[in-house]
Structure 1
Amino acid sequence: MDWDNLKVFLAVERSRSLTEAAAEIKVSQPTVGRRLTALEETLGVMLFDRRPDGWRLTAAGKKLKPLAIEVEAKVSALERATDRLTEDDGGLVRVTGVWSVCRFILDRVREANLVGRAISVELIHDGSLYSLAKREADIAVRIRRSAPRGDLVTRSLGVMAFALYASPQTAALPPDQLAFVGFDLASQGFRQSQWLDAFADRRPVVMRASSVDLRMRAALMGMGATILPCFLGDAQPGLVRLTPPIPELTEELQLLVHGDVAGVNRIRVMTDFLFSTFKLERARLSGAASDFDMDVAPMSLPNRDEKLNEI
Structure 2
Amino acid sequence: MDIPWEDVRLFLAVAETGSLSGAARRLRIGQPTVSRRLAALEYTLGAALFRRGVEGASLTSAGERLLGPAKKMAEWAGEVGRAVESSDRSPRGLVRITATPFQSFDFLAPFGAWLAGKHPGLRLEVLSSIQYLDLNRGEADLALRAKAPTQEGLKEVLVLEFENAVFVSKSLAAKLPRKPSLAELPWIAWAPPFDMVPPNPQLEELIPGFTPAFTSDNYLVQLAAAEAGLGAMVMARNRHRFSRPSSLVPLPIDLGPYQRSSLYLVCAKSALDIPRVRRVSELLVSELEKVGASSSS
Shared fold (TM-score, shorter chain, > 0.5): yes
What CA distance in whole angstroms lies between the structure 2 residues aligned with 1:152 and 1:199? 33
What letter is aligned with 2:168?
A: A
**Which deviates more from structure 2 when the two are superposed, residues 46-55 or residues 220-229?**
46-55
Counterparts of residues 122-201 of structure 1 (less than 5 Å):
122-144=125-147, 146-175=148-177, 179-186=185-192, 187-196=194-203
What CA distance in whole angstroms lies between the structure 1 residues aligned with 2:71 and 2:116? 39
Is residue 237 of structure 2 the alignment partner of residue 230 of structure 1? Answer: yes
Query: Structure 1 residues 243 and 223 mapped into 2: Cα distance closer, same or farther (>3 Å)?
Result: same
Tell me the equivalent position of 1:257: 267
Query: Structure 1 residues 79 and 169 mapped into 2: Cα distance closer, same or farther (>3 Å)?
Result: same
Is residue 220 of structure 2 the alignment partner of residue 213 of structure 1? Answer: yes
Q: 1:112-167 deviations in whole A, cap 9, x for unaligned? A: 356645110001110011111111100011112x5422112212331232211222
Tell me the equivalent position of 2:286: 276
* Contact 1:92-1:121 within 8 A present in 2 as well: yes
Q: 1:18-50 deviations in whole A, cap 9, x for unaligned? A: 111222222221111111011122233332232
What letter is aligned with 1:260?
A: S
Counterparts of residues 1-311 of structure 1 (less than 5 Å):
1-102=3-104, 103-112=106-115, 116-144=119-147, 146-175=148-177, 179-186=185-192, 187-196=194-203, 205-231=212-238, 236-243=245-252, 246-249=255-258, 250-282=260-292, 286=295
What CA distance in whole angstroms lies between the structure 2 residues aligned with 1:204 and 1:6? 44
Where does structure 1 lack aligned partners over 5 or more consecutive residues? 290-311
Query: Structure 1 residues 208 and 283 mapped into 2: Cα distance closer, same or farther (>3 Å)?
Result: farther
Query: Structure 1 residues 32 and 173 mapped into 2: Cα distance closer, same or farther (>3 Å)?
Result: same
What CA distance in whole angstroms lies between the structure 1 residues aligned with 2:267 and 2:92? 17
Cα shift at 1:106: 2.0
Q: 1:184-219 deviations in whole A, cap 9, x for unaligned? A: 343544452245467777998532233433222222
Q: What RMSD in Å do the two structures reach over aligned CA positions?
A: 3.0
What CA distance in whole angstroms lies between the structure 2 residues aligned with 1:109 and 1:190? 26
Secondary structure at 2:48's aligned position in 1? coil
Cα shift at 1:89: 2.8
* Contact 1:153-1:262 within 8 A present in 2 as well: no
Secondary structure at 1:82's aligned position in 2? helix
What CA distance in whole angstroms lies between the structure 2 residues aligned with 1:204 and 1:5? 46
Radius of gyration: which is bigger? Answer: 1
Query: Structure 1 residues 89 and 224 mapped into 2: Cα distance closer, same or farther (>3 Å)?
Result: closer
What CA distance in whole angstroms lies between the structure 2 residues aligned with 1:111 and 1:49? 49
Identity percentage over the alignment?
Answer: 24
Query: Structure 1 residues 183 and 204 mapped into 2: Cα distance closer, same or farther (>3 Å)?
Result: closer
What CA distance in whole angstroms lies between the structure 2 residues aligned with 1:216 and 1:247? 23
Where does structure 2 lack aligned partners over 5 or more consecutive residues? none
Query: Structure 1 residues 4 and 202 mapped into 2: Cα distance closer, same or farther (>3 Å)?
Result: closer
Query: Structure 1 residues 13 and 197 mapped into 2: Cα distance closer, same or farther (>3 Å)?
Result: closer
Query: Structure 1 residues 151 and 206 mapped into 2: Cα distance closer, same or farther (>3 Å)?
Result: closer
TM-score scaled by length of structure 1: 0.79
What letter is aligned with 2:122?
A: I
**Which deviates more from structure 2 when the two are superposed, residues 46-55 or residues 15-24?**
46-55
- Aligned length, in residue pairs: 286
Cα shift at 1:278: 0.5
* Contact 2:157-2:267 within 8 A present in 1 as well: no
**Which deviates more from structure 2 when the two are superposed, residues 98-107 or residues 69-78?**
69-78
Secondary structure at 2:273's aligned position in 1? coil
Cα shift at 1:56: 3.1
